[in-house]
Amino acid sequence: MIVSDRDKCYNIAKDFYSDKNLLLECWDIKRTLNTFFNPDEYLFFLSKKNLIPLVVKDGCAYFFGGDLPFNECNSVGDDRGLVDEALSYLKSRDLNFRLTSLKNDPFCFLSKENVLYDVPYNQLWIYPNVNKFNTEEFIYSYKKKTRDKLKRALGLYNRLEVVEPLQPCYKKEYHDKIYELYIKSFKSRGKINCWAKRRVLYDAIFSIMHTKNILKNRVVLDKATKEIVASYSLAISNNEIFLAFSNCYNFDIRYLQFFIYIDILQTSSSIYKSSLFINAGRGSFGYKKRLGFQPQPMYALVKDDRWKKQYNKDITPKETRLLYGRDFGCFL
């Protein structure tokens, strides 16, 4: 069955996302993303036990929430017939589709003619059981070269201070400054930050994280100049610590990236809950993998000639095949 009425789809989506555990699966995040995305059309594919909630904009289908940052942890369920029905319908209308950030492997639910839409997608990075993190054990688990770098990073506590302002103070004193630094740091490296033209959405996401979770905003300052040199936020709910908006702004400070990740791990380990894990999002950026974060498979179904079908470079092709236990349909 296909439901295309906007109001009915919103009611279905609210029920579907209201009992999810991860921050980026929650209804408030999905609803906010979808409102900002403002799709042209709704296509919710339903069976007795499964839902594939899609929206269409400019001739391309996406999961509810659209083609926006933080539209993660999606699913096509486990009904092979429904998956084939959805893909066949989209193809019959000559619609492209980018069904990304799937947390469950869809390959076994694909018919032969749809296997080619199974493409690589960069992994989610987590740090499991962070409540067991011990700084000294962590440092001495590395070989001498990396161990020395980590020790020098810890030495930055003599130069830097980390403050954790309460939300009203953070919003008044730091929020706007950090957003500008966040965008500027990407621009200085010749990159475009995905939030650069989405300030209103950025603020809305922050507000949801503050309302729905325990939110720790950590700001790293140079003790002498009070310059903001790095920052990050941790949204804590259930057994998940979601790492958001982590960035360094002064690249002249050696080992600052190591410093910020050590502080993330130390701060997270001090939160008294069993089986806590850090959800550090997708993309290793050279540091997550080096500092003990583990990749978790993520999947995508894509029909779009503009999409580059290539292995993600955060891990090697060999590591990718070991992690996924198979190759991708688009390469078969």
One digit per residue, pLDDT tens: the chain, 332 residues?
999 999 999 999 999 999 888 899 999 999 999 999 999 999 999 998 899 999 999 999 999 999 999 999 999 988 889 999 999 999 999 999 999 999 999 999 899 999 999 999 999 999 999 999 999 999 999 999 999 999 999 999 999 999 999 988 999 999 999 999 999 999 988 988 999 999 999 999 999 998 877 899 999 999 999 999 999 999 998 789 999 999 999 999 999 999 999 999 999 999 877 678 999 999 867 789 889 999 999 999 999 999 999 998 889 889 999 999 999 999 99
Angstrom CA distances, 38 to 28, 33, 50, 86, 94, stand at: 15, 9, 24, 21, 21
d(CA 87, CA 116): 12
Q: Check residue 49 and give its pLDDT.
A: 87
Fold of 126-295: Aminopeptidase (3.40.630)
- What is the C-alpha separation between 207 and 168, in angstroms, rounded? 11
β-strand partners of 299: 102
Rounded Cα gap, residues 117 and 108, in angstroms: 13
**CA separation, residue 192 to residues 36, 199, 257, 265 (Å):** 19, 14, 20, 28
Q: Which two three-digit tokens encode residue 14? A: 């609210």
CA 261 to CA 255: how far, in whole Å?
10
Which structure tokens are listed for 21? 């555990």
Distance in angstroms (rounded) separating the CA atoms of residues 90 and 313 = 30
Q: What is the pLDDT of residue 275?
A: 73
Q: Give 51's DSSP letter.
A: E
Residues listed for the chain: 332
Question: DSSP 3-state assignment of 260?
Answer: helix
| N-term to C-term CA, the chain | 31
